[in-house]
Structure 1
């Protein structure tokens, strides 16, 4: 079976695709996965590092743009469709899955027009414009939140959750890592979050008496790295401050509490790894979907949530202090988070891809010459 995964841009779109790719390629040595994305997206760095082929299309978003930028993006779409048709004709996938992001739209639509079985994976409670459109033409819509169901034809919807990368499953084996200090994992998604970075540094002023008992692992993103490092150092706190965390499994395993955004993939990781969290939704997310995402965990008692505009450093510090002082409450939040986790999501999604292939092409997939584009060897760096 050969699966083409279209989309990316951010970790929230890309990492579920990586999880699906891992499931597909480890089932049978002959299975292949190829990604299609843009050169500006996170996929340009992550996909080759993970060892999968990556094709590129030139496409930009249409929503939330200035009039001039909107026109440029609109006029670029025909070229993106032509590129998509060429890629599909060359790669000859058995199934195409869109995971959101700019590249997903033209590639999935082109696949549909070519008669290739298509599906989309919607990570959020409130779908974006691209997936709302694609949901009308694809054969299957995978969702992670029941709130998303109403936006798609009922017969196409399958509620499976968000696929999680295999390396994060290691958290189960390392979930009781011994450490002396109360450990906080702080991050704002794959690109960082200035609002979280600033609030966390401000919170340190009210946590001075606890500095010997706290340890921070903080992913800042590229722009705020040095400033945040300086903030921890000047206030005397022990912290590992990095631009990007490659080994999130270890980071989750060592965390007693997570402070983060409420992207759908992040929430899926929190539930599979059974972590208590303080959620600070990205205030400019389309249709405020991160806050809607977060409500599922908050209502279940697995997380606390603060709107960024209402959150001060002092309030964040008070919340951290309270949770650190109530280990039984933290344990309860962890247990409730675990009840929401869906570690089998990648397997279930891959099962449906197999069904789509068999329905369209038969058990052996499409007739094509042996491919030289097998999955490249994984990097050991």
Structure 2
């Protein structure tokens, strides 16, 4: 085991940033290191992700809102940077690891000022704004995809293909077989739009499932995560169509829900894609069109090209199209199981371990780095 070191993880307050940070925190802690998290009020409150981890809240500003908004944000960022520098005197970190989001920025700026080695991890197939802002100064860049848009060619020597770390409970599904599906068995559908649900899925999915052939529709069992304002209407739709459905605002055990499902209908957030490919579950993906730089469409490309998912743009997402794509993905049990295998084929189950290897290596130049460098496409090198 390596000598115990102190590491600081800096992440924005959304699940897409916090879940991989939590996976790395667990891996580093298992290796005997001390891990601290810096985030905003939302990030430190994620239930169960950072139990036993030292957490700190620092101010951070989101850039925007005109000149006055930028000025206020800059003031909060610099205040957070000063607080992070004081925190470093106590924690003495061997490295700072940023996972994107505006709350990560002050801590990374403090690391640059203090000369602390830095790693950034990009969960999406498009380099995020904060990671793009600091990429030129960090010690190493970890990516989740072979091809990442908004990367510059000069960053290639310090860029490493890692994958997106997922929770151990999700990773454990990789060793479980795809659920048996026979011609008369229950066909289980999981619908999730992320931690807050998605209104478009609630509006379209019940009607789309109702258009499936009668003999198939009668076998459906649905677990559907919906926004609280949509939940009554969604339940009413399923009831009107005669489709058994468990509709709730929050799925408390997502790993078990994934294990249960034969197919998933979802957005294409980074954590969703990572979990689908870790578990090996075929999917119908509806990227969020308002996502920054349309990164969800880019996220969906790899699993879709592999044959593990079908992607429908939100503009084209309607009941008829959904029913058609479910049937294309595989009403036949063997075809669906093949799609599950293709989804699993693009998973990167060692992402947490590989990222921890990279983190341990950056402050010891003679130590070998046990990860692969990403292939950065020249045509996507514009910033």
Flag whether TM exceeds 0.5 (same fold): yes
Correspondence 1:38 to 2:40: yes
Distance in 2 of aligned mates of 1:295 and 1:319: 16
Give the paired residue count: 356
Distance in 2 of aligned mates of 1:32 and 1:342: 25
Partner of 1:25: 29
Change (3 A) 1:221 1:343: farther
Distance in 2 of aligned mates of 1:222 and 1:42: 22
Task: Provide structure 2 residue ranges, at least 5 long, that are not aligned to the other structure.
Answer: 367-383
Q: Give 3-state SS (helix, strand or coil) of 2:148's partner.
A: helix
TM-score (norm 1): 0.86
Distance in 1 of aligned mates of 2:241 and 2:72: 47
Partner of 2:119: 119
Change (3 A) 1:329 1:211: closer
Which has the larger displacement, 284-293 or 51-60?
Answer: 51-60
CA-CA distance at 1:62 after TM superposition: 1.4
Which has the larger displacement, 6-15 or 313-322?
Answer: 313-322
Tell me if structure 2 keeps the 8 A contact 1:120–1:141: yes
CA-CA distance at 1:177 after TM superposition: 4.7
Change (3 A) 1:73 1:217: same
CA-CA distance at 1:186 after TM superposition: 0.9
TM-score (norm 2): 0.85
Partner of 2:161: 159
Change (3 A) 1:42 1:319: farther
CA-CA distance at 1:151 after TM superposition: 1.0
Task: Please list, as runs of the form range in 1=range in 2, the aligned pairs for 1:308-327 lying within 5 A after superposition.
Answer: 308-323=314-329, 325-327=331-333
Alpha-carbon displacement from aligned partner over 1:88-140 (angstroms, at most 9, x marks no partner): 23322222100111211111111121111110001111112210121111101
Change (3 A) 1:338 1:45: closer
Q: Give 3-state SS (helix, strand or coil) of 2:138's partner.
A: coil
Q: Over the residues paired in the alignment, what is the CA RMSD in angstroms?
A: 2.4
Correspondence 1:331 to 2:331: no
Tell me if structure 2 keeps the 8 A contact 1:274–1:335: yes
Tell me if structure 2 keeps the 8 A contact 1:217–1:240: yes
Instruction: State which of 236, 243, 246 in structure 2 corresponds to 1:240.
Output: 246
Tell me if structure 2 keeps the 8 A contact 1:33–1:53: yes
Correspondence 1:181 to 2:181: no
Change (3 A) 1:177 1:334: closer
